[in-house]
Amino acid sequence: MSTSLEGRVAVVTGAGAGLGRAEALAMAGAGADLVVNDLLGAADQVVDEVKALGRRVLVVEGDVAERSTADAMLAAAVDDLGRLDVVVNNAGMTRDRMLFNMSDEEFDSVVRVHLRGHFLLSRNAAAHWRAQAKQAGGPVYGSVVNTASEAFLSGPPGQANYGAAKAGIAALTVATARALGSSGVRANAICPRARTAMTAEVFGEDTSGEGVDPYSPEHVAPVVAYLASPAAERITGQVLVVYGGMVAVVAAPVVEQRFDTTGTTWTADELDQQLGGFFAERDPAVGFAADSIMRMTL
């Protein structure tokens, strides 16, 4: 199957800088026409860059967590550019704080932009594609690429809001893939490590000495363009860690150990013997999949 996006129309949110800009340019380079989104004035440069690649491009400015913005992005793609084939949900923000110091607004704003922002555009696109499939009497073309993060597994102590939002995005992605599979639509999530304005304090300056910064968005954007293409028709419902020339497919969580009561119901002593005994020799600072995901990618 072809990796070309010629004749396709893609929407990319948060496209004004960093990862979103790189993704928009990768899409345009593969042949797609674009609807790009960012806050007021932030996408002006990428619009010029997309035009320089010979592609049509429209900008929809606004907050991705507002229904009106999602509606405008769908309308720009379908009504003005003639179709919608790809959605790349990238827009995000951080408000880092330790859980015990985090305000209501700091939690709500991050979950709102990341998770609600992903939901609104995905929902609009899903309704459009499902209606198309019903009208056509069979599958149509559609691909959603969401932006999760390893934070949904590792649980950074200063990013309870961000980690929670990204966990929601991972679950939303799988639900999207399952809900739209019969319509021919695919959905996948990437967990990128990319040096952008949002992650500047995480990765710092590039000291690798390599020709391309291992944390450059240039390593991530080609993967997103590929996932959007017909060549990736068999890839759906997946979560992929992407950075530095590496793609790692994350396995679904599995049951590590099962315990069964020997009586009718659990007693505190039996729970302590079985469950407590299992964890007695383990480091309490490491839980769930945080240790395994970091071993896999570092």
pLDDT in tens, 114-125: 999 999 999 999
Helix (H, G, I), strand (E, B) or coil at 61: strand
Q: Where does the pLDDT of residue 194 fall: very low under 50, low under 70, confident under 90, or very high at 90 and above?
A: confident
How many CB atoms lie under 10 A from the CB of residue 107? Answer: 18
pLDDT at position 298 is 47
Give the C-alpha separation, 296 to 298, whole Å. 6
What tokens were used for 108?
């709500």
pLDDT at position 288 is 64
Q: What is the pTM of this model?
A: 0.92
pLDDT in tens, 51-70: 999 999 999 999 999 999 99
Give the CA distances from residue 26 to residues 115, 197, 273, in Å, rounded to whole numbers and listed in that order.
Answer: 24, 19, 55
What tokens were used for 14?
């948060």
Catalytic residue positions? Answer: 149, 162, 166
173, 148 in Cβ contact below 8 A? yes
pLDDT at position 216 is 85
